[in-house]
Structure 1
Amino acid sequence: MAITDINEYTHLTESDVEALGAELDALRREIESDRGVRDARYLRRAILAQRILEVGGRIVLLGSRNRLLWLSGTSLLSAAKIIENMELGHNVMHGQWDWMNDPEIHSTSWEWDMVCYSAHWKHSHNYIHHKYTNVLNMDHDVGYGLLRVTRDEPWQKKHAAQPLANLFLAATFEWGIGLHDLELKEYFQGIKPKEVAVPQIKDFAKKVVRQLAKDYVIFPLLSVGSARSTLTANLTANFVRNIWAYLVIFCGHFPDGAEKFTEESLVDETPGQWYLRQMLGTANFDAGPAMAFMSGNLCYQIEHHLFPDLPSNRYAEIAVRVRQLCEKYDLPYTTGSLGRQYWQTFRTINKLTLPNSMLIASSDDAPETASEKKFAELRAAATERGKRIVAAGEGKRDGLKTAIAELKLRRKALRAR
């Protein structure tokens, strides 16, 4: 049932894990000491590009009764909302640019263009999700309380409908994120105190009113004679942004190889083990510069989870170093095309509509979840031979990557017999 002993699962010693943590700490310090003018220039250019796209889209939509102008304006506005949400809002509120000491571009002052109230998101995402990444019953982003994405979660009748729930969540993603931290179910059950819940609900309601008024009342009314088409354009742009944000987030957290962890794994967790949990619990997808920018550089989800408050424009260069560390410590680096990563996610969501009794693999060795028990047969075979579990090669650590490869070879050989 998920990973409890991360050292045992990765086949690394305590000294290995400590050394890995030290190298990642050193990488952090290196990037922090190198932040400067080029990073600030990148951010200001990103803000300028987003504003040009939004203003351009709004102006074009003044004539949105024309089909071509509607399509052009909606496309510009969609791109602007994606950039504001992914590259600006998400990353600014992570504190990636706080070092600039600019009060307008600071994690404490930024309010993004979506119904989610920023303070709620910073609690549910920056604190809970990034501290307890993929820890069952602690990280609420594991399925968002709506989807079953690991066999470790007991099956319920509601999970039979999760293919539809998945589509609904994708289309309304900003609302799912906005409601996430409110924990309304806990409030109605009497678990969450009224004095905590009611102020949160009021803040959320105020933000929703502002967003709905802006996109569906004020801007349509400003488009004299084109109010209806502008309204549909704004609705479409929000829908496109929701789908893209959902796709990026799901491809970074639910493909094969994005592991889950038990609460016991947190007991006496060292900094090195925290780093390992981030590396094993997330996944990247392959992207060029344009797609990386439009994804908020979250195509580098592994790097983002290792260093959530370092500037996003540095993730590409950090990724090179992280790959090298994965090779050095014989760890997998989970990545693939966007299509491949989403296909694995989509397959998991649809497969887990069924109870475990109807599935083939176990919670210890399935594509979407695994534990240290996965390697029990390797350990048994090694004991019989009186040898080590895996043999990575002379001068190389015997780590998780080699163990996975050897397990596959062993099972292939057994099938062949």
Structure 2
Amino acid sequence: MAASFLSSDAASGALPFDVSRVDLDAFAREIDALRAEEEARLGLADFHHFRRRAYAGRALTALGYATGVLAPNPVSAALLALGSTARFTIVAHHVMHRAMDRIPGVPAHYTSRHFAKGTRRWVDWLDWIHPRAWDIEHNVLHHYATGEVEDPDLVEENVAGLADASRTVRLAVAALYAFTWKITYYAPSTFQIVARGEARRRRGEPTNHRADARGEGSYLDAFDLRSPEGRQFWRECVLPYLGGRFVVPTALAAVLGPWAAFSTLTNSMGAELLANLHTFLIIASNHAGEDLHRFDDKHKGRAELYLRQVLGSVNFTHGGAVRNFLSGYLGHQIEHHLYPDLPPSSLERLAPKVQALCAKYGIPYVQEPVLVRARKLLRIMIGSAKMQRTDTKRPRPSRSSTARRAVPSGELAAEQPA
């Protein structure tokens, strides 16, 4: 049964993609037209849609703590985990992408300029991951290099060092990361980009986030208390979260007695494992699978960037507020990668339109249930499947051809990373 679960599906394999058959400039113009149409209708209703989901996450957390003092139990742990995941994938993710910034009347703390800055980090989004580090690693490097070798979240590239390991070892590594990846992968790897950038500035060198992301050494070096970087990582990432997630709630519950304190700590620990597993399933599977594409070079121009966002991303089967909430709105990953600074409600409206555009231009639009994508993610991690390696460069025009048409401007490529 395990062998069947991990075996490759012949029917699911993607055919090689031929970019010469696609009018990329026309596709890009229509993608930009959808953006203009959506931006024109943005209003407070979109913020209220977002805020209801933010409040739902807070309510789940409160209910988890309220019931968690009674006894160690999976329900309280799951409630706490869902609240944590909502703050990460729905609130922090979209606010830090500036999704609320252009909506008039939005409170300042829901805008990227104020969210999780300074002491507001304790209120808005306290996690192992430092908000500043997430902003660089995710918003800049991942989004502008999706599926490229320089994408810090390219799973197939990140597990390349296990190529000679046995399947058992690979499965063990996958299981370890599934339950701990925010502290064992995301927090240290993102923080190192910031630390290396700060060191670069102290040396008087120009910013180079790409080089910092692929720096020497392992991201596990961030845990080394003997180094200045390690001590900074513990001070800014590890200790604040240990305090906020485990120490403070347990201390408050201790007012009700030792059993309440023990129950709170146990449920908090269970919630941590569940939140890691949940986010691993809905995040890591977004860009991994034998039917998705990766790229050996850097994109050139907005049209090719748009194409790669679609070819290298996958949507989950979505529909309905509950399902979208449970997926952290990552079920609309294709639309999010085309329009990262638009709110969740916009992604819901755009999904059928983007899917229709992809069908019109013959561009693969992959959408499957999350557990199917989790299986394909696992196959990539253990080496039983490989992603499509695709050339998305258009054939060079002959000297006698007309001048190359300009790709229309848009928000996605407005800020290219250093």
TM-score bin (small chain): 0.7 to 0.9
- Secondary structure, aligned partner of 2:58: helix
Aligned to 1:232: 266
Aligned to 1:302: 334
Aligned equivalents of 1:114, 1:220: Cα separation in 2: 17
Aligned to 1:139: 151
- Matched residue type, 1:134: G
- Matched residue type, 2:332: Y
- Matched residue type, 2:88: N
What is the deviation of 1:47? Answer: 2.1
Aligned to 2:206: none
Gaps (5+ residues) in structure 2? 1-15, 197-213, 222-226, 393-418
Aligned equivalents of 1:142, 1:113: Cα separation in 2: 25
Indicate which of 231, 238, 242 corresponds to 1:208. Answer: 238
Q: In the alignment, is residue 333 of structure 1 matched against residue 361 of structure 2? A: no
Structure 1 segments (4+ residues) deviating >4 Å: 156-160, 197-201
How do 1:18-57 residues align onto structure 2 when only pairs under 5 Å count? 18-57=25-64
- Matched residue type, 1:9: D
Q: In the alignment, is residue 370 of structure 1 matched against residue 375 of structure 2? A: no
Gaps (5+ residues) in structure 1? 1-6, 353-365, 374-417
1:45-104 deviation per Cα after TM superposition (whole angstroms, max 9, x unaligned): 12222222222222222323xx5xx44432321221121121112121111112245321
Q: 1:130/1:204 Cα in 2 relative to 1: closer, same or farther (>3 Å)?
A: farther
Aligned equivalents of 1:188, 1:82: Cα separation in 2: 30
- Secondary structure, aligned partner of 1:282: coil
Aligned to 1:62: 69
How do 1:73-88 residues align onto structure 2 when only pairs under 5 Å count? 73-88=76-91
Partners of 1:283 and 1:335 within 8 A in 2: yes
Q: In the alignment, is residue 284 of structure 1 matched against residue 318 of structure 2? A: no
Partners of 2:295 and 2:391 within 8 A in 1: no
- Matched residue type, 2:271: A
Aligned equivalents of 2:391, 2:233: Cα separation in 1: 44
Aligned equivalents of 1:288, 1:320: Cα separation in 2: 11
Q: In the alignment, is residue 261 of structure 1 matched against residue 264 of structure 2? A: no
Partners of 1:87 and 1:294 within 8 A in 2: no
Aligned identity (percent) is: 25
The structure number with the bigger radius of gyration is 1
Partners of 1:129 and 1:140 within 8 A in 2: yes
Q: In the comparison of the two structures, how many residue pairs are matched? A: 334
Partners of 1:92 and 1:106 within 8 A in 2: yes
Aligned equivalents of 1:131, 1:293: Cα separation in 2: 26
Aligned to 1:165: 173
What is the deviation of 1:188? Answer: 5.2
Aligned equivalents of 2:19, 2:240: Cα separation in 1: 48
Aligned to 2:396: none
What is the deviation of 1:178? Answer: 0.6
Q: 1:372/1:126 Cα in 2 relative to 1: closer, same or farther (>3 Å)?
A: closer
Partners of 2:78 and 2:274 within 8 A in 1: no
1:3-46 deviation per Cα after TM superposition (whole angstroms, max 9, x unaligned): xxxx9832335xx1111101111111111111102101112212
What is the deviation of 1:232? Answer: 1.0
TM-score normalised per structure 1: 0.73
Aligned to 2:127: 114
Q: In the alignment, is residue 274 of structure 1 matched against residue 279 of structure 2? A: no
- Secondary structure, aligned partner of 2:315: coil
Partners of 1:147 and 1:165 within 8 A in 2: no
Aligned equivalents of 1:158, 1:309: Cα separation in 2: 41
